[in-house]
Amino acid sequence: MKYTDKKAFIFDLDGVIIFTDRFHYQAWKHLADRLGIDFDESVNHRLRGISRAKSFDIILEKSNCYYSRPEKEKFIEQKNEYYKGLLKMLSPSDISREIRDTLWELKGRGYQLAIGSSSKNAKFILSRTAMTDYFDAISDGTNISRPKPDPEVFQKAAQFMNVNPHDCIVVEDAYAGIEAAKCCGMAAIGIGEASSCDKADFSIQYFSQLLDIVP
């Protein structure tokens, strides 16, 4: 079975196009250690696909301290600055040839391509890895008010491309992203962890398999 009526792809960034989990972990770990909070890989796994604010609330579950909203925002910003410092180590070599070749082939077949990411660092990451020119639109944390599983980030991506949501295919590695795609009538393809999501229309193991499901 192939999709024969779609016009655009919307990709989550982290975990689909690039993998910066290690940087997120290091940045949250750095902050948690400063605050005397236990933080490990199991807690970090719960942070996938959700906003910074919700991530920090999960981390604070192991803290006995109360922080006001302004204090939380300050800590979150400190975490992000540390994370951005780590992102400066990124280069074009951090994007696989498989991903670059697949994206160019999709563009060659006439599909529009967009990023749909809750990250406010998406444009910086794309710039560091020389990926900006691959995409017709970028919808990220700077233009949304509600993170996934709310579909806002994908709806904005479709709007930026001037494409009907029903004509879009979302590629996601997080359950929250799959749910967001289905909420606004988009097709959803799961990769990585989301390949086991029963709400996904298709599951793939390799990025290049996208070429097998569209003409």
Q: What tens digit of pLDDT does each residue of 158-200 get?
A: 999 999 999 999 999 999 999 999 999 999 999 999 999 999 9
Percent of the chain with pLDDT over 90: 83
Q: Are the C-beta atoms of 157 and 143 separated by less than 8 Å?
A: no
Q: What tens digit of pLDDT does each residue of 118-131 get?
A: 888 999 999 999 99
21-87 belongs to which CATH class?
A: mainly alpha
The pLDDT score that the predictor gives to residue 172 is 97
Active site residue 14: yes
Q: In terms of DSSP bridges, do strands 112-116 and 8-11 run parallel, antiparallel, or are they unpaired? A: parallel
Q: Which residues pair with 204 in a beta bridge?
A: 191
- pLDDT, average across residues 127-143: 96
Task: Decide if domain 8-18+94-212 falls under CATH 3.40.50.1000.
Answer: yes
Active site residue 12: yes
Q: What tens digit of pLDDT does each residue of 8-34 get?
A: 999 999 999 999 888 999 999 999 999
141 closest CA partner among 169, 114, 116: 116
Q: Which residues pair with 202 in a beta bridge?
A: 189
Query: Which of the following is catalytic: 5, 14, 21, 136?
Result: 14
| All structural domains of the chain with their residue ranges | 8-18+94-212, 21-87
Query: Which of the following is catalytic: 12, 136, 140, 150?
Result: 12
31 closest CA partner among 42, 20, 39: 39
Token pair in block for residue 204: 């793939």
The pLDDT score that the predictor gives to residue 201 is 95
The rounded distance, in Å, linking the Cα atoms of 212 and 171 is: 14
pTM for the full predicted model: 0.85
Residue in this structure with the two tokens 């982290």, named with its chain if needed = 14
Q: What tens digit of pLDDT does each residue of 31-73 get?
A: 999 999 999 989 988 887 677 888 999 999 999 999 999 999 9
